Structure 1
Amino acid sequence: MSEKIVIEKLIQQKLTSIAPVVVMMCGVAGSGKTTFALKLEKEGFARLSIDEDIWATHGRFGVDYPQQNYEFLKEESEIKLRGELVNRIQANHHVVIDFSFWQRQRRSDYKQLIEQHGGVWELIHLKVQPAELRQRLLIRSERFDANAAFPVTEDTLTRFLIGFEPPSGEGETVIEA
């Protein structure tokens, strides 16, 4: 399905749904999750981003805090944003979660959390071929912002690709680049 059609569908769902709509972004680094989430943010969805929370709270990766602290800060940020997600659902706000959602179990946990608090979820899987990911990450490495703060080397990308559990039969909408 095309990105434009999916965004239009989500905007329509936001306008007609009684329950808050929570969009879960899913994809490997460089797949376009943040770009997609920013489009939804412009349409009134609140956007939750671990990268931006860490940037705002702790600064730049490897500059304002040591690289070895990243995993701890990422976990700390996710706990904080998970609480914010629940608060926003309870306040009847629509949300886009700008995380990677690599593991099936984690996606399942979030779906359950969303439903328990009265929201409805949409899982958007951005599927991009490795060669295209490499090109996008090369361009991203030239930027200086929260979403480019964590450097993705070839080794890191390889680990990401190996560890990624693509959604299948989970109610996902797939957008292929």
Structure 2
Amino acid sequence: MQEAAAIENLLQRKQDNEAAVAVMMCGVAGSGKTTFALKLEQEGFARLSIDEDIWSTHGRYGLDYPEEAYESFKEQSERKLRKELIELLAGKRHVVVDFSFWQQRRRDEYKQLIEQHGGQWVLVHLKVEPEELRRRLRIRSARFDANAAFTITEEILTRFLNGFETPAGEGEWVIEA
């Protein structure tokens, strides 16, 4: 599926459904999750981002707080955003969850959570080849914002790629770059 077609399809679902649509972004760092999520935000979806929540709450990674605090802050942020997701669904607001959802177990948890709160989930998997990820991450590392809070080294990218559980048969929409 192409990105433009996916966005059009999501906008149609948003318009056609009484239930809130919750888009779950899925992909490795640099795959374009935030770029896609921002496009949906411009179309009226509420956007939830752990990176941006940490940035606004605690500041800059390694500058305003010690690097070892990141995992704890990430857990706190996810709990907060999970509550916000439930509130948005209860209010029948369409939402895009700008997390990486790299584990099937986590995807399944969120699908169930969304359904339990009256929402309809859509899992969007952005599939990007490793060389393209490297190119994008080089560009991203030059930025200074919440979504580029720390540099993804080759070692970290390799760990991400090796640990990523690619969705298959989970009802995912695959967008290939």
TM-score by length of 2: 0.99
Q: How does 1:9-28 map to 2 (within 5 A)?
A: 9-28=9-28
Residue 166 of structure 2 corresponds to 166
Match of 1:2 in 2: 2
CA distance in structure 1 between the partners assigned to 2:88 and 2:166 by the alignment: 27
TM-score by length of 1: 0.99
Distance 2:11 2:56 in 1: 28
What is the CA deviation profile of residues 4-43 of structure 1, one whole-angstrom value per residue up to 9, with x for unaligned ones?
0000000010011110000000000000000000000000
Superposed CA deviations along residues 144-171 of structure 1, whole A, max 9, x for unmatched, are 1100002211100000000000000000
1:1-177 equivalent positions in 2, closer than 5 A: 1-177=1-177
Shift of 1:124: 0.1
RMSD: 0.4
| Paired amino acid for 1:13 | R
Aligned length: 177
Q: Match for 1:45: what amino acid?
A: F
In the alignment, the residues of structure 2 paired with residue 131 and residue 93 of structure 1 have an alpha-carbon distance, to the nearest angstrom, of 37
Separation of aligned partners in 2, 1:64 and 1:84: 25
Distance in 2 (CA, whole Å) between partners of 1:77 and 1:163 is: 22
What is the distance in 2 between the residues matched to 1:129 and 1:120?
29
Q: Secondary structure at the match of 1:25?
A: strand
Measured in 2, the distance between the counterparts of 1:151 and 1:20 equals 35
CA deviation profile, 1:69-92 (whole Å, cap 9, x unmatched): 111111110010000000000011
Where does structure 2 lack aligned partners over 5 or more consecutive residues? none
Residues in 2 aligned to 1:32 and 1:150: alpha-carbon distance in whole angstroms: 16
Distance 1:130 1:163 in 2: 14
Report the 3-state secondary structure (helix = DSSP H, G, I; strand = E; otherwise coil) of the residue aligned with 1:131.
helix
Would you identify which runs of 4 or more consecutive aligned residues in structure 1 move more than 6 Å?
none
Task: Write out per-residue CA displacement over residues 86-108 of structure 1, whole angstroms, 9 at most, x where no aligned residue.
Answer: 00000110000000000000000
- Counterpart CA distance in 1 for 2:14 and 2:64 is 38
Secondary structure, counterpart of 2:160 in structure 1:
helix
